[in-house]
Structure 1
Amino acid sequence: MTTFPRLTAEPIMRILCKKTDTLVGYLYQWNNGDLQPAWLDSAKVEVRYEPISAAA
């Protein structure tokens, strides 16, 4: 974590369930470099990450 303030963030990865391959959240990168998951429901354990550009 950096000491710079978090001002803006953008989604950089889709978080998918390993078992069902359904979307369960997004991974955001803040302007200061911090990463933060945003879950659609509740946090999941067995997930995989897919870059946003690969999903398009």
Structure 2
Amino acid sequence: MGVRSTLRRNERPPAGPLADLDNHLDAVERRRWPLPSSAALVGVVGLVMTVRQAAAH
């Protein structure tokens, strides 16, 4: 995981509402797309649109 997981190894687990927030943040971090993947996807879509537009003319 990320830095929070590394730092958390030596800490006590949070209790109560902090545990809920921590679990929610962990879930959000697992779901998010990393920036390089998003950039690659945008690049591929741009390339496909360019080729399609060039083929139409």
TM-score tier, shorter chain, comes to under 0.3
User: TM-score scaled to structure 2, two decimals?
Assistant: 0.20
